[in-house]
Chains A and B, each alone.
Chain A
Amino acid sequence: MPAHLKYFLSRFLGALATIVVGSFLVFMVMKAAPGDPALTVLGDFATPETIVEFNKKHGLDNPLIIQYLDWFNGVIRFNFGQSLTISSGQDISDLLAYRLPNTITIGIYSIVIATLVSLVLGTAAALNRGKLTDTATTSFSILGVSMPDFWLGYMLILGLSINIGLFPAYGFISPFESISGSLHSGFLPALAIAAPMAAVFSRTLRASLVENLNRDHVIVAKSIGHSYKFIFLHHVFRNSIIPFVVVIGLQVRYLLGGVVIIEKIFGINGIGSLMVEAAFARDYFVVQACAVVFLATVLVINFIVDMICVLLDPRRAS
Chain B
Amino acid sequence: MKMLDVKGLNISFALDSSSINICSDVSFSLAQGKVLGLIGESGSGKTITCKAILDLLPENAEVEAKEISFKGQNLLGLNQKEFDAMRGTAMAMIFQDPVGSFNPVKTIGWHFLHAGKRRNLKQYGRGRIFDDAEAALKEVEIANPREALKKYPHQLSGGMLQRCLIALVLFLKPSLIVADEPTTNLDNLVERQIVDIFDKLRNKIDASFIFITHDMTIAEQISDEIAVMYAGQIVEHGNTADIIDNPHHPYTRALINTARELESDVDVLTEISGDITSGLGVHDKCRFGPRCPLHSAECDKPIELRNIGNHGQVRCIKAESFEGHV
Q: Which residues of chain B are near A242, meaning CB under 8 Å?
A: 105
Contacts A216-B95, A226-B84 hold; do A315 and B105 have CB atoms under 8 A apart? yes
Question: A225 to B86, Cβ gap below 8 A?
Answer: yes
Q: Is B108 an interface residue (CB 8 A)?
A: no
Q: Which residues of chain B are near A222, meaning CB under 8 Å?
A: 56, 87
Query: Which of B96-104, B137-145, B194-202, B285-293 lies on the face that meets chain A?
Result: B96-104
Q: Which residues of chain A are near B71, meaning CB under 8 Å?
A: none
Q: Which residues of chain A are near B87, meaning CB under 8 Å?
A: 222-225
Q: Which residues of chain A are near B54, meaning CB under 8 Å?
A: 223
Q: Is B210 an interface residue (CB 8 A)?
A: no
Q: Is A25 an interface residue (CB 8 A)?
A: no
Question: B102 to A217, Cβ gap below 8 A?
Answer: yes
Q: Is B92 an interface residue (CB 8 A)?
A: yes
A225 to B93, CA, bound (A): 11
A220's closest neighbor in chain B, by CB? B101
A216 to B84, CA, bound (A): 17
Interface string of B95-129 (1 = CB under 8 A from A): 10100111111100000001100100000000000
Select one of B88, B95, B152, B155 contacting A225, CB under 8 A.
B88
CB neighbors of B among A206-241 (8 A)? 215-217, 219-228, 230, 234-235, 238-239
Q: Which residues of chain B are near A216, meaning CB under 8 Å?
A: 95, 97, 100-101
A314's closest neighbor in chain B, by CB? B152
Q: Is B326 an interface residue (CB 8 A)?
A: no
Select one of B93, B103, B115, B168 contacting A235, CB under 8 A.
B103
Q: Which residues of chain A are near B207, meaning CB under 8 Å?
A: none
Determine how close the nearest CB of chain A comes to the CB of B202; give it in whole angstroms. Answer: 20
Contacts A313-B105, A314-B152 hold; do A224 and B100 have CB atoms under 8 A apart? no
A288 to B89, CA, bound (A): 66
Select one of A234, A312, A318 contacting B103, CB under 8 A.
A234
B100's closest neighbor in chain A, by CB? A216
Contacts A224-B87, A314-B152 hold; do A219 and B105 have CB atoms under 8 A apart? no
- Tally chain B residues at the interface, Cβ within 8 Å: 29
CB neighbors of B among A283-318 (8 A)? 312-315, 318
Question: B154 to A318, Cβ gap below 8 A?
Answer: yes
Q: Which residues of chain A are near B154, meaning CB under 8 Å?
A: 314-315, 318
Q: Is B172 an interface residue (CB 8 A)?
A: yes
Question: A230 to B114, Cβ gap below 8 A?
Answer: yes
Q: Is B80 an interface residue (CB 8 A)?
A: yes
Q: Which residues of chain B are near A234, meaning CB under 8 Å?
A: 103, 106, 114
Determine how close the nearest CB of chain B comes to the CB of A223; give it in whole angstroms. Answer: 4
A214's closest neighbor in chain B, by CB? B58
Q: Is B14 an interface residue (CB 8 A)?
A: no
B85's closest neighbor in chain A, by CB? A225
Contacts A217-B100, A238-B105 hold; do A223 and B93 have CB atoms under 8 A apart? yes
Question: A226 to B105, Cβ gap below 8 A?
Answer: no
A215 to B155, CA, bound (A): 19
Question: B100 to A215, Cβ gap below 8 A?
Answer: yes
Contacts A230-B114, A318-B155 hold; do A224 and B88 have CB atoms under 8 A apart? yes
Question: B84 to A219, Cβ gap below 8 A?
Answer: no
Q: Which residues of chain B are near A239, meaning CB under 8 Å?
A: 103-105
Question: B92 to A224, Cβ gap below 8 A?
Answer: yes
Determine how close the nearest CB of chain A comes to the CB of B63; give it in whole angstroms. Answer: 16
A64 to B283, CA, bound (A): 85
Determine how close the nearest CB of chain A comes to the CB of B101; give it in whole angstroms. Answer: 5
Question: A226 to B118, Cβ gap below 8 A?
Answer: yes
Question: A315 to B104, Cβ gap below 8 A?
Answer: yes
Determine how close the nearest CB of chain B comes to the CB of A167; give it in whole angstroms. Answer: 41
A227 to B95, CA, bound (A): 19
Contacts A216-B97, A314-B152 hold; do A224 and B168 have CB atoms under 8 A apart? yes
Can you name 24 A-B pairs with beta carbons within 8 Å? A216-B100, A217-B102, A217-B103, A220-B93, A220-B102, A220-B165, A222-B56, A223-B56, A223-B88, A223-B93, A224-B172, A225-B85, A225-B86, A225-B89, A225-B118, A226-B114, A227-B84, A234-B106, A238-B103, A238-B105, A312-B105, A314-B152, A314-B154, A315-B104
Besides A226-B84, A239-B103, 13 more A-B contacts (Cβ < 8 Å) are: A216-B100, A217-B100, A220-B95, A223-B54, A223-B87, A223-B92, A224-B88, A226-B88, A227-B84, A234-B106, A235-B103, A313-B105, A315-B104
5 nearest A-B pairs in the assembled complex, by CB-CB distance: A225-B88, A216-B100, A225-B87, A224-B88, A223-B93
